[in-house]
Structure 1
Amino acid sequence: MSPFGALREQLLDAADAFADGPGGVHGILAGIVDDVDRALREQLEIFPVCHHSPASALAMVRRLREKQPKVIYLELCEDLRPLLDELRNCRLPVALQAFATDVDGFPEDWVPLSVVAPITEASAEYQAIAYALDTPGVEIVLVDRSTDHVFQWQPREPAEATEAEPEAASDEDAALHGDAVGIEIGDLRPRFAELEAHLLHHGKVRHWSEWWDQYVEQPLVGADHDTYRQVMVLIGSLFRRLAPHDGDGDHRRDEDRERYMWTRMREHLAASGTDPSDCLYVCGAFHAASRVEQFGLAADAEPYDISPRTATRWHYGLIPSSHSSIEAQFGLAPGSVSIAAATWTKAVARSRAKPFVLEGQKGARKHSKRLPGAAPAPREPVTDRLSGFLSKPPVLDDLDEAELLGWCVDIVRLARRNGYLASTADAIAVFETSILLAGLRGRGRPTPYDFQDAAITCIEKDAVPGRRDVRRLCEILLGGDRIGQVGYEALPPLARDVLDRLTPLGLDLEKRAVQRALLDLNADPELVPCSDLLWILRRLLPGNAVRPIMGTRALGERPIQESWDLAIGHHQRSLVELGHEGVTVEQVLERRLRRTVWGSQATAAIALEAVEDSILYLGGRRFTDELGARAVELLAAERTVDGAPEVLRRIRRLLSHYRATEPELPKWCGAFVTEGYSHYCTLLPTAFVDEDSGVRQVAAMLGFLFGMESLALSLGCDHAQLELAVRQSHPESPAKVALLWAAQTQLGMLPIAELRSKCDELLANPLVVPAFPQYMSGFVQALEPAPTLAPLVVEVMSKAFGRLPDAVLLPWLPKLITTLRDHANEMVPVLIREAGRTFPAGLAAVDTWTPPWKAQPVRPETSRPALAPAGPVADLLAAHPRSCDAVAALLGYEIEWRPVGHVTGGPDHHEVGELLARHAETADAVAGLLARGPART
């Protein structure tokens, strides 16, 4: 006869009385009792737990010392087993991690795949692990699905599927787990939203963590083993039966996990021949109340068919974790894990239990691990403990005034250190308010949650004066956000290699604090490898793990001194995950560059960036040439010109680097220039008329064609291709029309005088004046392909500022300013130099200054006196008087033309003759341009 018969009858009578007859409640209560009876009668002892529960951890310690099992089956991913031995080299909390970047059988948008399982000292799973690893003859077997099956069982519709939806963390430490899927033993929380809201409302608490602490955690801390098991299975059964059942959702995955675990346990028992009475099955209370057909060793159902793993290559390691990261990932209240750790410490001291601690565990309190020499106690028959537990009123603990007073004094001290104007009166107010809140919530002893609410009410007035609010100060007071660390021995080879190579810096890089590193590379050349490694880490690690304060890494630059802020210990998780990708950081960077360049989103600009990175960080010609050849392929395959500005900027920089450091250009550079010349010539007519192609993109194309033309022609390209492309271009937008005019002028198709007259006609046409700023934008962008047009651009801008009305000019100014700001390196220096040559340097000269583009009075040729023939010089001057005027103006002289008689009959030399005598080389050069002989006789 079932020991729970009386309890069943009692609950059914209550259901009939309160529900006014049999119905749904009748079946739920009867099913809960059946689940408890079934779980406790199982031959293989089931130990139900809740994650990060001090009551579960304390009950686990007691049971392990009493039963001394030889095999422990633990609900954890089976392929994480090798990581358990590395826990002794770490400081808790840490997380077991499985990581994959190269997937086979999963969607590409899920990459990278990551699974974490956090471990804290105040958890039942850690106590079981510590007992099994440090007790001779004890085996621990992980029986939950593998990490590969975790993602196999995820729905394929959403791009990001996780076991537990992470919440936003309050600081950077709360994101230690990143976007990994969280796996934790004993996820015990109602999956029925209305039930959770009902429990919180009637329990007079704010969140689930506080409800669990008051109504489950505190009553079970001192409970015996049988009572603990029955209550936990009861809660798991209740939540399980009230959860919504959808065949394709969480309910189906929970049942598949239970089939998986029972199948693995049966396989191990059959292979090892272990007596089930010497085993202990540690699982979440939710799974202890399982009703799958494979439940129990006596079940006659067919074994569960476990699907094979995919070909995805998984990497395993340990990453640091923290209380706040666990809370954020699993939706727990902020501070709840820290409060649980404080409760665990208090419960251990009160019960005088001796927890298990791994030998060599860093940062753990040392306890005696010696087990009693007596044989383990035989298993006692199951008796009903639930009836007494459920009918007994809750025990109200007496007020511990010393503990509460200590909290109140310490929180005021912390508040004053953080900028709050707190005093002794606030400490008294917190003390009284804590007692008041506890009484309102039916407690005789204020809990940490009551104290936290009271402190926020009494101390935090209107604003937070510093970085931390009172809630955060209470968490620090009650235990703080403990952050774990992975020891050197447990790090992957890459992380150890990084720490070893940075040893010459003389810093303890395992610390979480930010440390300053000063590198004088001239005085200490041994630090050059450290500098190279730091720049690679800067390229690979996220955030401020490695941040340069002084010094740069660019093509053609050699560092002399550098200064770095290093927080590698703070970003240990990122460094560990690098270790999953390769053995050295150079190998990881090479793999990432290759994956980027050969990816589906790769472009020619991205490939050129990878080429530059390979030169800066890796060196070596082979890999760089491989990336460059890929850049040529990508450029030839592009059908848009969106990346033309970036392509132009990067190829210019690379060509300058190779010309300064190499005797000849690499073959891929020549291929890129010739391919780009032909490619952009082909796309130029379309880009001029395409609305999706911006002015900046077209200007960059022209800049590539004109800037690389000499090199392209030397490599076999045809100049006629560029002329044909320009002649076939017929843009309609004003900015692109201006660009076309600039290109035609650069090619000699449009004289500069004609271009100036076109601009004057546009300014004189009232119908075109509103659109003239768009023409100006095109001329400004034309400085990229045709920097020789800078005088004309300055002239046109000056005329526009002088003639355009304010209604047209003012709306255009912001766009002009943003354009010049975005392209300051290319355009602004050219404009400033030309403006400096054009405009007067002083304020006094402004009044008498005449713009050079204003027409100067020129005497007609017929009014000039004829020059008497006086040899080649006279013939030259007579044939080209304007050239003589221009040369004299450039040299700063004014020419006065005199009658012929004065030149031949007078004793004085002609002024032009004196000018030519002083500048004979100039005359020879002009004569040579005109295909004459030497100008001097």
Structure 2
Amino acid sequence: MSAAGQGVAAPFDALKSQLQEAATRFADGPDALEGILLGIVDDVDRAVGEPLEIFPVCHHSPASAIAMARRLQEKQPKAIYLELCEDMAPLLPELRNCKLPVAAQAFASEVEGFPLDWAPLSVIAPITEASAEYQAIAYALDTPGVQIVLVDWSSDHVFQWDPRSSEPAPGSENGDGDGPDDAGDPAEPSEQAGLHGDAVGVEIGDLRPRFAELEEHLLRHGRVRHWSEWWHQYVETPLGDADHDTYRQVMLLIGSLFRRLAPGDSHRVRVDEDRERYMWTRIREHLTATGTDPADSLYVCGAFHAASRVAEFGVEGADSFGITPRSATKWRHGLIPSSHAAIEAQFGLAPGSVSIAATTWGTNLKRTGVKPFRLEGQAGVKKTAAKAKKTAVKTKKAVASAAVPAPVPATAPSDRLSGFLRRPPVLDRLDEAELLGWSVDIVRSARRNGYLASTADAIAVFETSILLAGLRDRAKPTPYDFQDAAVTCIEKDSVPGRRDVRRLVETMMGGDRVGQVGYDALPPLARDVHDRLAPLRLSLDQRGVKRALLDIAGRPELARCSDVLWMLRHLLPAGAARPIMGERELGERSLQESWDLAIGTHQRALIELGYEGVSIEQVLEQRLRRKANNAQATAAVVLEAVEDALLYLGSHRLADELGTRALQVLSAERSVDDAPEVLRRIRRLLAFYRTTEPVLPGWIETFVKTGYAHYCTLLPTAFASDDAGVRQVAAMLGFLFSMESLALSLGCDRSQLELAVAQAHPEGAEKIALLWAARVQLGTLSRADLRDRCEQLLDNPLVVQAYPRYISGLVHALEPVPGLVDFVVEAVSNAFGRLPDSVLLPWLPSLIMALRKSGADLASLLVREAGRVFPARLDVLDAWAAPWKGEAADPAALSRRRAAGRDPGGPLAALLQAYPATCEEVAGLLGCEGEWSVGGGAAQGGLEIVKRYPDVAMALAGLAG
């Protein structure tokens, strides 16, 4: 209860009177404006008068961190209630083993109670040294007798109360702004901006306008480009030296202002209020359970939530809020590396703003002399043993002297808002020296990056920074003013190197610091990986690429390291483990290997593997099972899982289990799109089992038997369907022909394949040629007949345009019938020799691209056969004769073809003589002049007509089939 409620004159009465008069003057009478202004003061009064001290903060704000460190040293509370997911409490002690910035993460790969397409679920809360929550955590963990209690909703409730269907903006879980700062200049994206992945960010200290017009108004009148710059200029800098009461009242004022001017989004308002009810309910539960005195406690939360108006607010609030139970989802928790760029990308901050905040934090520490709290043994903090001992002694003395806490004033602190709002900014002379140092440093950095910068540019940057600050009504230049001045004076019209001046300024201000999780804070899986790779003698926890050389023949113990690296290559993102030399295939192992390892760079991915299991073998087995049992999995996908199980795990048990699943999936498929992949993988698995096992596994025998019947059934439909390409049909035939001997030995019937081929009636040229090849393999079509058909195609001007498509079909036929490779070389050679350039030249690119895309192995067969057939020396080329020319010139073969009715001389001549009138009409339509003259016998007359009118003859031959 506030002092005003107790009959004591409220400290903000004077401020209320001033605001009421201003509202009356500017708004022409009391109205909504008066209600808003007076309501803001009421919110501040209510929060200040709460028995449990509320400490409002802004996340990653140096001013909040300074105020927190100063207040902790003064008050020395016994309990700290922190706005952070309550299920992340066990992670806080592990911060000692990390190098900040890092992020606490809750991860769930399998979900229950949420839609399956949400998986995996991930919630992160980044922590930097220049943040108030880290100061509170460090104080609580290093001070005996102090409790730190996380009171924010659990990771499970984050997804319960903020469904994906609402499409929240990045960072909106805590009510962050409407999205990333889009008013600032675009910067080159950092490679570390994706360290958080697509996790939902839970940010304490949410403080940003949700009213777009309000933010636009503040930016325009503040003459800044984005929100981060406005906050630095108008809040961060003035509060850097403010006392505790002033800091609290100003932060509460800003939080109340943004809350009251937020748009009336019912869903967002409900989420905010439920979250505040949740936190106050948890606080009261802890106070009741432990008997902690609220006067000895501190509640650290975002300023937006500190100015709350819910009925549950305060230690005397109503207990009317019921917390819903968590879902059955199993959450795993850990620490992952973070970076400044990742925090900026996660919460929509301007590029470089977190780095500038870190620089401001260091500057404020030097100026104010505040001693920050750091965890003992914190990675990345240099501290000697003597200094650590001295600090511990001072801490113990401070705790002893704080046995009786400082008395809390009976009334709320005096009004500090009026004086702060009227106080003009003061120029600090030390800032001029700092600005001069920045100007010299940026010129030096620009020279190293190829800019023609000089001392005159340093002077220009210095003066321009002051000029820009004056134009923007600022008392002193900010880092953002300095950045604009450096771009204007140094970059000019070109960027000679990879980095522009804006990036150089960000680097000079501290750059994108990347955190690191120490070995002791890693999950068991990650520690196991480091232990198993220890024989490599590499610092795998460091960022960057490390080269590992494995002489497995000389050091057999490195074979285990090789197994781990191959599994990591399969599990981690590309680039984490990249083989330079060596390969792993079924039944093959390299004796020497070379790897480029960047495990430290991909530490987050390795840590998230630890959420799925205790060893990489377990995680890989789970992923293979999940991959095979997926409802969308095809037979090719399941066979790939079988191959990976043998390749990386060497588990025949798992391979048999997944193979049975592949059999079930193949039987249910009605599409042949994956037939080439199925053929390739089953051939490889058969070759492996035949060379390593005395007998084939039962599942693979059943797979071949079932696949034989399955593809025989689908073959006629695939030949006729436009959805099945020639490559898919060739793969089906390849499966049937290559597995035929094994399938017949298992009880299959060859007549099933013969009937399937006989029922096939393709229309496309490629599939027709493929059917011819299948008939040759089955023995229903001879090679001589196939050669005759190809010659007819070349002789017929109506179909010669389609001859390249027939060749493409024959090339694909090498998959099921590799014995036709010599015939395909013959057919291609005839095409090159007889096709006109108008047909041949457009066809060549398409043939080359088809072979390159889907027939690389087939092209090697053709090249090898052509090398065997064609002469190896140029001087014998003139006397060389193609081997297939002998049969073509054989009179006996010619008589056989004529007897079979394939020579156009006999039947065609008889047709022309039997219907002379029809021939005259057709000749007239085709533009052939002259009269028919038939001399000699019927056959001789027919030959004369064919010779004289070849166009008519070919047309009639095409009509006659």
State the TM-score, normalized to the length of structure 2: 0.87
Residues 31-74 of structure 1: CA distance to partner in whole angstroms, max 9, x if unpaired?
A: 21111111112222111000000111111111111111111111
| Alpha-carbon distance in structure 2 between the residues aligned to 1:321 and 1:859 | 84
Q: CA deviation at 1:514?
A: 1.4
What residue in structure 2 maps to residue 262 of structure 1?
280
Call closer, same or farther: CA 1:787–1:641 in 2, change over 3 Å: same
What residue in structure 1 maps to residue 958 of structure 2?
none
Cα pair 1:130 1:356 within 8 Å, conserved: yes
Q: CA deviation at 1:765?
A: 2.6
Call closer, same or farther: CA 1:769–1:9 in 2, change over 3 Å: farther
What residue in structure 2 maps to residue 342 of structure 1?
359
Call closer, same or farther: CA 1:351–1:763 in 2, change over 3 Å: same
What residue in structure 1 maps to residue 338 of structure 2?
321
What residue in structure 1 maps to residue 583 of structure 2?
552
What residue in structure 2 maps to residue 841 of structure 1?
872
Counterpart of 1:187 in 2: which secondary structure?
coil
Residue 376 (structure 1) aligned with residue 405 (structure 2):
yes
Counterpart of 1:174 in 2: which secondary structure?
coil
| Alpha-carbon distance in structure 2 between the residues aligned to 1:468 and 1:377 | 54
Call closer, same or farther: CA 1:857–1:818 in 2, change over 3 Å: closer
What residue in structure 2 maps to residue 925 of structure 1?
none
| Alpha-carbon distance in structure 1 between the residues aligned to 2:888 and 2:662 | 53
What amino acid does structure 2 have at the position aligned with 1:94?
A: V
What residue in structure 2 maps to residue 920 of structure 1?
none
Cα pair 1:110 1:160 within 8 Å, conserved: no
| Alpha-carbon distance in structure 1 between the residues aligned to 2:35 and 2:133 | 33
| Alpha-carbon distance in structure 2 between the residues aligned to 1:364 and 1:457 | 37
What amino acid does structure 2 have at the position aligned with 1:777?
A: S
| Alpha-carbon distance in structure 1 between the residues aligned to 2:130 and 2:11 | 33
What amino acid does structure 2 have at the position aligned with 1:69?
A: P
What residue in structure 2 maps to residue 23 of structure 1?
31
Q: CA deviation at 1:399?
A: 6.2
Call closer, same or farther: CA 1:803–1:856 in 2, change over 3 Å: closer
Counterpart of 1:316 in 2: which secondary structure?
strand
Matches within 5 A, 1:93-242: 93-157=101-165, 163-164=171-172, 170-242=189-261
Matches within 5 A, 1:611-626: 611-626=642-657
Counterpart of 2:880 in 1: which secondary structure?
coil
Deviates further, 652-661 or 388-397: 388-397
Alignment match of 2:289 (pick from 257, 271, 277): 271
Alignment match of 1:333 (pick from 340, 350, 371): 350
What residue in structure 1 maps to residue 854 of structure 2?
823
Q: CA deviation at 1:211?
A: 0.6
Residue 566 (structure 1) aligned with residue 597 (structure 2):
yes
Call closer, same or farther: CA 1:181–1:240 in 2, change over 3 Å: same
Residues 404-436 of structure 1: CA distance to partner in whole angstroms, max 9, x if unpaired?
A: 222122212222222323222222222222222
What residue in structure 2 maps to residue 355 of structure 1?
372
Matches within 5 A, 1:33-112: 33-112=41-120
| Alpha-carbon distance in structure 2 between the residues aligned to 1:862 and 1:773 | 25
Residue 765 (structure 1) aligned with residue 773 (structure 2):
no
| Alpha-carbon distance in structure 1 between the residues aligned to 2:734 and 2:710 | 14
Counterpart of 1:531 in 2: which secondary structure?
helix
Cα pair 1:71 1:279 within 8 Å, conserved: yes
Residue 675 (structure 1) aligned with residue 706 (structure 2):
yes
Cα pair 1:259 1:292 within 8 Å, conserved: yes
| Alpha-carbon distance in structure 2 between the residues aligned to 1:401 and 1:145 | 46
What residue in structure 1 maps to residue 175 of structure 2?
none
Alignment match of 1:597 (pick from 598, 613, 628): 628
| Alpha-carbon distance in structure 2 between the residues aligned to 1:596 and 1:785 | 30
Residue 427 (structure 1) aligned with residue 458 (structure 2):
yes
Q: CA deviation at 1:860?
A: 5.9
What amino acid does structure 2 have at the position aligned with 1:315?
A: R
Deviates further, 463-472 or 199-208: 463-472
Cα pair 1:685 1:728 within 8 Å, conserved: yes
Residues 81-139 of structure 1: CA distance to partner in whole angstroms, max 9, x if unpaired?
A: 00011111111111101001011011111111111101111110011111111111111
Call closer, same or farther: CA 1:169–1:87 in 2, change over 3 Å: farther
Matches within 5 A, 1:692-711: 692-711=723-742
Q: CA deviation at 1:825?
A: 4.2
Aligned length: 861
Q: CA deviation at 1:193?
A: 1.4
| Alpha-carbon distance in structure 2 between the residues aligned to 1:541 and 1:820 | 33
| Alpha-carbon distance in structure 2 between the residues aligned to 1:694 and 1:282 | 65
What residue in structure 1 maps to residue 754 of structure 2?
723
Call closer, same or farther: CA 1:860–1:128 in 2, change over 3 Å: closer
Can you give the 5+ residue segments of structure 1 that lack an aligned partner in the other structure? 864-937
What amino acid does structure 1 have at the position aligned with 2:657?
A: E
Counterpart of 2:439 in 1: which secondary structure?
helix
Counterpart of 1:826 in 2: which secondary structure?
helix
Residues 767-793 of structure 1: CA distance to partner in whole angstroms, max 9, x if unpaired?
A: 323333222221111111111222222
Residue 756 (structure 1) aligned with residue 787 (structure 2):
yes
| Alpha-carbon distance in structure 1 between the residues aligned to 2:16 and 2:830 | 98
| Alpha-carbon distance in structure 2 between the residues aligned to 1:785 and 1:462 | 63
Deviates further, 412-421 or 554-563: 412-421
What residue in structure 1 maps to residue 308 of structure 2?
290
Alignment match of 1:461 (pick from 479, 492, 495): 492
Q: CA deviation at 1:838?
A: 3.0
Residues 430-486 of structure 1: CA distance to partner in whole angstroms, max 9, x if unpaired?
A: 222222212212223222111111112222233333333222221221112111111
Deviates further, 693-702 or 415-424: 415-424
Cα pair 1:259 1:295 within 8 Å, conserved: yes
| Alpha-carbon distance in structure 2 between the residues aligned to 1:539 and 1:587 | 13
Residues 371-390 of structure 1: CA distance to partner in whole angstroms, max 9, x if unpaired?
A: 53254332233221111111
Call closer, same or farther: CA 1:462–1:672 in 2, change over 3 Å: farther
Call closer, same or farther: CA 1:68–1:754 in 2, change over 3 Å: same
Alignment match of 1:510 (pick from 541, 547, 554): 541
What amino acid does structure 2 have at the position aligned with 1:279?
A: S
Can you give the 5+ residue segments of structure 2 that lack an aligned partner in the other structure? 1-8, 173-178, 182-186, 896-961
Counterpart of 2:876 in 1: which secondary structure?
coil
Counterpart of 1:307 in 2: which secondary structure?
coil
Alignment match of 2:610 (pick from 573, 579, 596): 579
| Alpha-carbon distance in structure 1 between the residues aligned to 2:753 and 2:494 | 67
| Alpha-carbon distance in structure 1 between the residues aligned to 2:73 and 2:260 | 33
Cα pair 1:77 1:143 within 8 Å, conserved: yes
Call closer, same or farther: CA 1:799–1:19 in 2, change over 3 Å: farther
Matches within 5 A, 1:844-923: 844-854=875-885, 856-858=888-890
Seq. identity, %: 70
Residues 864-904 of structure 1: CA distance to partner in whole angstroms, max 9, x if unpaired?
A: xxxxxxxxxxxxxxxxxxxxxxxxxxxxxxxxxxxxxxxxx
| Alpha-carbon distance in structure 2 between the residues aligned to 1:773 and 1:30 | 86
Residue 606 (structure 1) aligned with residue 637 (structure 2):
yes
What residue in structure 1 maps to residue 10 of structure 2?
2
Residue 303 (structure 1) aligned with residue 320 (structure 2):
yes
Deviates further, 259-268 or 758-767: 758-767
Counterpart of 2:549 in 1: which secondary structure?
strand
| Alpha-carbon distance in structure 2 between the residues aligned to 1:226 and 1:507 | 52
Q: CA deviation at 1:169?
A: 7.9
Q: CA deviation at 1:696?
A: 0.7
Q: CA deviation at 1:161?
A: 7.9
| Alpha-carbon distance in structure 2 between the residues aligned to 1:238 and 1:708 | 76
Cα pair 1:110 1:159 within 8 Å, conserved: no
What residue in structure 2 maps to residue 538 of structure 1?
569
| Alpha-carbon distance in structure 1 between the residues aligned to 2:856 and 2:876 | 30
| Alpha-carbon distance in structure 2 between the residues aligned to 1:483 and 1:605 | 41
Q: CA deviation at 1:673?
A: 0.9
Q: CA deviation at 1:365?
A: 5.5
What residue in structure 1 maps to residue 927 of structure 2?
none
Q: CA deviation at 1:857?
A: 4.2
Across the aligned residues of Structure 1 and Structure 2, the Cα RMSD in angstroms comes to: 2.0
